[in-house]
Amino acid sequence: MRVTVFSAQPYDRRFFDELAAVQDADDDIEWHYQEASLDAGTVTLAAGSDAVCVFVNDCLDAAVLDTLATLGIRAIVLRCAGFNNIDLAAAHRLGLFVARVPAYSPEAVAEHALAMIMTLNRKTHRAFNRVREGNFALDGLLGVTLHGKTAGVIGTGRIGLCMARILKGLGCEVLGHDPYPAEAFQAYGEAVPLEALLARSDIVSLHCPLTEQTHHLIDDGTLAAMKPGAMLVNTSRGALIDTPAVIGALKSRQLGALAIDVYEQESELFFRDHSAEIIDDDVFARLASFPNVLITGHQGFFTVEALREIAQVTRANLMAFAEGIECPNRL
């Protein structure tokens, strides 16, 4: 089976090639890497393949899917959990096999969220730069003790549960909100309505999927309902946050700090080097100008363990398709 891997980065090659080196004789997968993202302008790069492997910011709308089907593509495997970038109705109409990696090292994302909280709170990123310049002054680096603070986790799935466990370990009072609450969350915190979580939490961490119901979950209304001066953390999906509304809350000091690993318009920015270019996204530029905002480029998943698991599950999904057996990760 020939598979075109779109949005391929060196680390993708490393872990897929690692699998190829130890694959069974009947595991006949050929990985062909394309640095380009998948969209209407690049879709023909998949010509000659049986399947495509895509990532979070690849475009799989109805037009792209139609072209893929015309090219003879029979399967689409997502090396990620989110699938809001694919028109599933169109894929099903075309008879395309679609599968994802529903969960991979949830601890990786939760630990990154913790790293962002600690960095932003204790300002270690600023301290690092100061010390390198010989500046050992502490003014401007004041943080708070997280032990005893209240932390809210919105979305108590696998990653949310990991986050709740970490926060409880720090000595925080943990609140959780999820329309489908996990029973396991009871071991770490108290399940409450969203309004109560926002009003009581010193830290609010988002760990929910992007759906019609969660799109711009954080908007003017929810920001106004938050405890004044609270920190907001998003390592899930960029569009959970209405960015202009967040900028307004930062300017008014209603929101005390913001840490994001995802951004609603990230497809034009993330996973590529723009250091020698002018970034013409004015909303992103304004967001990045705040001293109490910390941004990372969608690296929450980026650990050896997570990438190895992504590669393994992606290959398993492809083998299930090739062998015509049930795939538990099929969408």
Give residue 19's Cα distance to chain centre: 24
> Active site includes 286?
no
Collapsing DSSP states into helix, strand and coil, what is residue 295? strand
The CA-based angle 226-214-58, given to 5 degrees, is 125
Collapsing DSSP states into helix, strand and coil, what is residue 152? strand
Range 116-147 burial, b when 16+ CB lie within 10 A, else e: bbebbbebeeebeebeeeeeeeeeeeeeeebe
Spot the catalytic one: 100, 112, 266, 315: 266
State the residue for tokens 């106004």.
Answer: 224
Collapsing DSSP states into helix, strand and coil, what is residue 245? helix
Q: Cβ(240)–Cβ(206) under 8 Å?
A: yes
d(CA 3, CA 11): 17
d(CA 137, CA 115): 23
CA nearest neighbour of 65 among 57, 76, 81, 56: 76
57-62 long-range contacts (CB < 8 A, ≥24 apart) are 57/7, 57/85, 57/266, 57/267, 57/270, 57/271, 58/6, 58/7, 58/85, 59/85, 59/267, 60/85, 60/86, 60/87, 60/91, 61/87, 61/90, 62/87, 62/90
CB atoms within 10 A of CB 272: 13
Spot the catalytic one: 158, 177, 200, 298: 298
> Active site includes 266?
yes
CA nearest neighbour of 311 among 75, 10, 49, 101: 101
> Active site includes 165?
no
What's the Rg (C-alpha) of the chain? 21
In this structure, which amino acid lies at residue 3? V
Spot the catalytic one: 237, 264, 309, 315: 237
Residues catalogued as catalytic: 237, 266, 298
